[in-house]
Amino acid sequence: MKKILLAIILFFPVFLPDAWAKVYIDLAAPAFRKLPIGVPEFKDLGAPAQGPAEKAEREAIKKNLLDAAITDLRFSGFFSVIDRAAYLEDPNTSGITAAETNFRNWRAIGADGVLKGGFIAEGDRLTVELRFFDTATERQVIGKRLVGSTKNPRRIVHYFSDSLYEELTGTRGVFTTKILFVSGSGGNKEIYVSDYDGKNAMKLTRNRSINLAPQWSPDGRKALYVSYKKGTPAMYLLDLTNGKDEPLSSRPGINIAGRFSPDGGKVALTLTGERSPELMLLDLATKVYSQLTDNHGIDVSPAWSPDGTKLAYVSDSAGNPQIHVLDLLTKKSKRITFSGKYNSSPSWSPDGKLIALSRSDSGKFNIWVVRPDGDGLSQLTFEGNNRNPSWSPDSRNIVYSSTAGGAASLKIIRADGGEVMRLNTGIGGELAPAWSPYLK
């Protein structure tokens, strides 16, 4: 198998001097309004292109850089990008530094900030310079010069967006994170990985079988998934740095729904028990299994609390599938949902405050959130079938699979029920997403 490298680009960041820098966006402010900003076309700062092919490549790079920047800014939830038709600054006479920027023109159209960028493409090497300015103070908030590959210009912008987000909010951005998902047709399903915005999707498995339920290791270097490639469902572990794929659990019966513990030392999964499918714990160091549940119902879909002391899971021991929380220290289980015909796919937020789930009341599944004690149940989606929620590592967003608007696709919704963004992976029929942790 070809090596699968998540860290495709080597970055050599150069920090450009910032005349002004402070955390000035309050995430919790009740009266917060989106900041209107300008994002003019990025400038090609290299030598003139030699021939039509090189010119076309430069234009493609420029388009990708600009699209990634606007996508990141809008996704942040803090900015609205002003339509380019309203821009007053002359692109032919302006540059990307403060001295080359007409801040009066930007203030005249209501822009609170402006993001400017330029690039130099030399062979496979791409140097990108990005600067974000406060138009009121006419000062640079943050600036970076980044070196990466012409094969993935978007990742360079995502790296900058992480830094900009943290500079403005004090919270780490999620723009360089990735999403695992399932897609396939004709009875086959393969595992894919994409950027957080659905771009640069790449197939990870190619066994022409049924591969399901991918999950990340806590360090983001491995993927756990279920495969039927040997006939019966077994758990496999795929190393994303070198492509090594090996079985993790293939006991007789079913081996499904595996999740790494927060410290990466154990995997909670469902195996065939003496009476019914039960939750088990696999110690990765000793390869020893220990049973967590034992009842007449089916117990599946374990989801760890961030501190590793509890598991949310699905059980039909009392009738319809409901969400329960198992305390691993006391071994006591508490049911936290009591309505809905079918509750499934629990996902614990990284900050520990909420559990996302998929719930069906009248034949349609929707995404809900609830506090771990069962209080505060709230519905987030209302159209189509919506399943398999997975949290962003900052606990602000949830990715899920949705049929709202047609065939299944991946969508991201704010955890407070705000804006929804559809991810265009170019694959189609995407299912079972899993959002990565922060990646190094």
**Between 1 and 283, whose confidence is greater?**
283
Averaged confidence pLDDT in the chain: 93
| pLDDT at residue 256 tops 70 | yes
Spatial contact of 433 and 179, defined as CB atoms under 8 Å apart: yes
Do 281 and 428 belong together in one domain? yes
* Distance in angstroms (rounded) separating the CA atoms of residues 376 and 336: 11
Instruction: Single out the residue in 145, 169, 193 at which a domain terminates.
Output: 169
47: CB partners within 8 A, 6+ apart: none
Do 335 and 318 belong together in one domain? yes
Using pLDDT thresholds of 50, 70 and 90, give the confidence band for residue 12: very low
Return the sign of the alpha-carbon dihedral for residues 369, 374, 272, 308: positive
| pLDDT at residue 22 tops 80 | no
374-412 tens-digit pLDDT: 999 999 999 999 999 999 999 999 999 999 989 999 999
Mean pLDDT of 70-77: 96
* Distance in angstroms (rounded) separating the CA atoms of residues 362 and 348: 25
pLDDT of 24: 53
Do 144 and 199 belong together in one domain? no
| pLDDT at residue 1 tops 60 | no
How many alpha carbons lie under 13 Å from residue 411 in its C-beta half-sphere? 27
79-135 tens-digit pLDDT: 999 999 999 999 989 999 999 999 999 999 999 999 999 999 999 999 999 999 999
Mean pLDDT of 313-340: 96
How is residue 297 written in tokens?
A: 């119902």
Tally Cβ neighbours within 10 Å of residue 93. Answer: 8
Do 153 and 229 belong together in one domain? no
How is residue 285 written in tokens?
A: 């160091």
Tokens 């598991």 found at: 311
Tally Cβ neighbours within 10 Å of residue 31. Answer: 5
How is residue 369 written in tokens?
A: 């959130």
Mean pLDDT of 18-42: 71
Instruction: Single out the residue in 136, 169, 202 at which a domain terminates.
Output: 169
* Residues belonging to the chain: 440
Do 86 and 197 belong together in one domain? no
How is residue 52 written in tokens?
A: 């039509």
Using pLDDT thresholds of 50, 70 and 90, give the confidence band for residue 27: low
Mean pLDDT of 144-149: 98
Residue type, 365: F
Using pLDDT thresholds of 50, 70 and 90, give the confidence band for residue 276: confident
Is residue 201 assigned to a domain?
yes
3-state SS, residue 56? helix
pLDDT of 363: 87
Number of helices and strands in the chain (H, E): 3, 31
Do 270 and 404 belong together in one domain? yes
Q: What is the CATH number of the domain that holds 49?
A: 3.40.50.10070
β-bridge mates for residue 224, sequence order: 215, 237
Do 190 and 331 belong together in one domain? yes
How is residue 192 written in tokens?
A: 């894919």
* Distance in angstroms (rounded) separating the CA atoms of residues 271 and 277: 5
| pLDDT at residue 8 tops 50 | no
Selection from 143, 176, 144 nearest residue 75 by Cα: 176
Using pLDDT thresholds of 50, 70 and 90, give the confidence band for residue 353: very high
| H or E segment and range at residue 272 | strand 266-272
Do 46 and 64 belong together in one domain? yes
Using pLDDT thresholds of 50, 70 and 90, give the confidence band for residue 58: very high
Return the sign of the alpha-carbon dihedral for residues 301, 352, 382, 342: positive
Do 144 and 197 belong together in one domain? no
Do 270 and 153 belong together in one domain? no
Is residue 6 assigned to a domain?
no
Of 8-12, 33-37, 183-187, 236-240, least confident by mean pLDDT is 8-12
Domain range holding 360? 178-435
Is residue 20 assigned to a domain?
no
* Distance in angstroms (rounded) separating the CA atoms of residues 79 and 242: 38
| pLDDT at residue 222 tops 60 | yes
**Between 428 and 28, whose confidence is greater?**
428
Do 153 and 282 belong together in one domain? no
* Distance in angstroms (rounded) separating the CA atoms of residues 409 and 400: 8
Q: How many domains does the structure of the chain reveal?
A: 2
Do 136 and 252 belong together in one domain? no
Using pLDDT thresholds of 50, 70 and 90, give the confidence band for residue 225: very high
How is residue 413 written in tokens?
A: 């919704």
| pLDDT at residue 435 tops 90 | yes
Spatial contact of 354 and 336, defined as CB atoms under 8 Å apart: no
Is residue 239 assigned to a domain?
yes
Is residue 13 assigned to a domain?
no
